[in-house]
Amino acid sequence: MKIIPSDTIEIVTSLTIKEVKDILDNNIQPKVKFDFSFSNKHKVFEGFLKQDSFEIQRIIRGRNSFIPQIKGKIKSNNNGSTLMVELKMNQFVIVFVIIWLGITGVSFFVSLFAVFNQGLNPIAAIGPAVMIAFAFGLMNYGYNSEKKKAIEALEKILKGKMHSAF
């Protein structure tokens, strides 16, 4: 199990590189910092496509800080194209989670030390342990639920299949 979730996958499609670029271009809108409109979006992803690479994330309603940031490269193969895709959380969120886990981890070990060496009530260690478990649960649930939707959306628009996961 990874501490910080991330994945690397390949999506294989029978489409040519040009067709893949055209489809991605038609399904990616530029990133918008603040969008208060409630209109239905016609694009699936936001980000950018340049040459044979792209950096995107799925457009969702609401906010999920753990949504995968998708970086990919498009390569030609014998039967079409292969997309080498890397899914990671936003760097700012990773730093925040590391700081959160660091502070709660230190609190947990200090409370354990106090329990064993100073006779503190063992219930004192439950608070930091619950906060650590909550951080892992929230991070993994938020990331994995959106990862699945993003991969399915890429497979659907590109008429491809996830070939392998590393």
Task: Specify the pLDDT at position 97.
Answer: 92
**Average pLDDT, integer, range 70-91:** 94
Confidence of residue 110 (pLDDT cuts 50, 70, 90): very high
Q: Is the pLDDT of residue 166 over 80?
A: no
115-144 average pLDDT score: 91
Indicate yes or no: pTM above 0.75: yes
Q: What is the pLDDT of residue 35?
A: 61
pLDDT, tens digit, 9 for 90 and up, residues 1-58: 688 899 999 999 999 999 999 999 999 999 877 665 555 557 899 999 999 999 999 9
Residues with Cβ within 8 Å of 122's Cβ and at least 6 positions away in sequence, in order, are: 115
Please give the backbone phi and psi of residue 9, each rounded to the nearest 5 degrees, phi first: -135, 170
For the chain, give every domain's residue range: 6-90+147-165, 93-133
Show the tokens assigned to 140.
């993994």
Task: Say how far apart CA 91 and CA 101 lie, in whole Å.
Answer: 15
Contact indicator for 83, 154 with CB cutoff of 8 Å: yes
Distance, C-alpha 15 to centroid of its chain? 26
Question: Of how many residues is the chain composed?
Answer: 166
Amino acid at 102: G
Over the chain, what is the mean pLDDT?
Answer: 90
The architecture (CATH level 2) of 6-90+147-165 comes to 2-Layer Sandwich (3.30)
Distance, CA of 128 to CA of 108 (rounded, Å): 5
List strand residue ranges (DSSP E) for the chain, in order. Answer: 6-13, 28-29, 45-50, 53-58, 69-77, 80-88, 160-165
pLDDT of residue 112: 93
- In angstroms, the CA 138 to CA 39 distance is 29
Between 1 and 67, the higher pLDDT residue: 67
Mention every residue, 6+ apart, whose C-beta is less than 8 A from residue 44: 27, 28, 58, 59, 153, 157
Residue type, 48: F
